[in-house]
Structure 1
Amino acid sequence: MDEMWMDIKCETEKLLMKYYVLEGYMGGSIFHYTSATALENLVRDRTLRVTKSDFLNDKTEYMYAIGLINEVFSRNKYKVKKEVFTEINREFKHYLARSFIFSASLNSDSVNLWSNYSDYEGYNIGLNLQEIFNRMWNREIYVAGNKTLKDGTIKKYFIERKDQHKSIMMSAGKVIYDRGEQETIISDIFIFLEQIIKIYDSHIKKDKDMDKAMLDDLDQNFNRAFKSAIQILISKIQLFKNPIFKQDEEYRIIFDVNSRLDVKKFRQLNGVFIPYIEVVFDTEDNAKGLPINSITIGPKNNIDIAEKGLKQFLRNQGYKLAKKDNLEDSNKLFVRQSAVPLRY
């Protein structure tokens, strides 16, 4: 039994090491394109409005991911029962019910995003990723509840480090547009499931006389590995998007919120009620504000006083401004004009 446990554990560890590498998505800057009003509220309140995942712009994401999984499975004819799809479908729907996504981009000056989110006249906010994670680990980020406590403060739900699904978890990553990479991830999961099924079956045949306790232990180890694989797949496909959107270079910060928590709020947009949560950067040093290292003014906003007014507003909110472009200086932020040339 120990041999079986080690075989399954070894395969599981290899899968985890391949797909749960933190390096590469926790450093650098991401850029959030928005309007002047949203920028003002975000900076003044030190709060991100994070939208429910199934209310984002691309309403076909779920169908795209599930369709691709079915296609890869059918093409390769893996020795995995079709009931696996039921489990994947169920887990993905649970994810959609719980998750809220803050969308940004790795592109600091995108013509496409200026057009989509601000009609070329808004702003984009450069956020320091490492500082966001540092504050999460230091319990300086919370989701604002809807209830007011006896002392007059709002109920706070802090981001947890361990995935116990009792409160709120935070994860992040670059959106994956490359179809080949997407298919490889799906194939890796199915190959892993084939391997642990083979290990399971071989031990059943080898130890035909195992007692109930041993059989229960075997089932427990198998189910643990199976669930780990499904969770890895869900964590990756929540970053899958159709390649036609690749020009967005999207980066996501995802909040997995226990549905029993009273944190969901609503805003109206084009006649639709959009659910969201308020993610607040809580710090005793109010002057520190959000982990912003740059703000870029949209290419159409060429009014001379636009930059001047923005800088005065930021200083008023306690931000220190840099005199030159320096994304590495997390203690100061710089304001710049978009370099996108427009003829109109």
Structure 2
Amino acid sequence: MIEVNGLTKRFGSIQALRDVSFKVEPGQIVGFLGANGAGKTTTMDIMCGCIGADSGSAKIAGFDIMDQPLEAKRRLGYLPDVAPLHLEMRVADYVTFAARLHKVPAVQLRKQVDDALDRLSLGDVRHRLVGNLSKGYRQRVALAQAIVHNPEVLILDEPTEGLDPNQILHIRELIKSLAGQHTIILSSHILSEVQNTCDRIVIIHNGVVVQQGSVEELARQAEAGRIYRMRVANNVDQLARDLGAINQLSGVRLTDPKNGELEFGLAKAADEQVITEVSKVVVNGSYGLRELTLKTHSLEDVFFQLTH
């Protein structure tokens, strides 16, 4: 349903995307995960035809967004990172305006607007000004404009950005309720958001797709290594630098510097010599080991190791 193949994009001297490729199958919700500045919005802007790629292609329901833009855009709904709202319009009027832009036939217009408002629980505020709504309700209105023409594909860029915890839960449930009726790709820099909403995850870092797979597949990857938590009495900053110089350790990071805590990853295939080397570093540096424990694996660990 969505096919991205070899997208490359440069802005002046900045290489924003390098050979980005992935697929989204019909009915799936796929999370496009990466830190701020990783290339998520650039990829989505290309997928929607807002900007062009230097090379590569993006297809929506089989139609190339560059070669067949009208056919592709008829089949997609887009929620950009900054919602395209007219604050001076009433909710129903704004969604009707969006439906007309999408060329919804006049005989179907009222029904499709009502359906979009009902699906996003906006019936009670349909006559209110968009500018008088809370941020959570404004985001629902923005989602309504993206689905009012019943697109096959939804592209949602950071749909919960800036919302409070309760609003995030509401938007997350609304997105889940759209699954099956639409193929959805949503971007986020928050792992828990993607993990709780999506079937598959695509991780991008510095413009490159570094990993992709189902939530279960990435969870199995998390189990392929060991994450240790260490607490020492002295100079935890220097200890982190010393451990970072050991080749077979990964993802050395300070987790609670005030209490002398850090974490590091160790591949299952690592030999005993690495353990010996870690022990020597701690003893010779007189760091005063207080605690060393094996941490439960999580997708957070995979994400951190892939993007640091």
- TM tier, smaller: under 0.3
- Structure ranking higher in strand proportion: 2
- Structure ranking higher in helix proportion: 1
TM-score (norm 2): 0.24
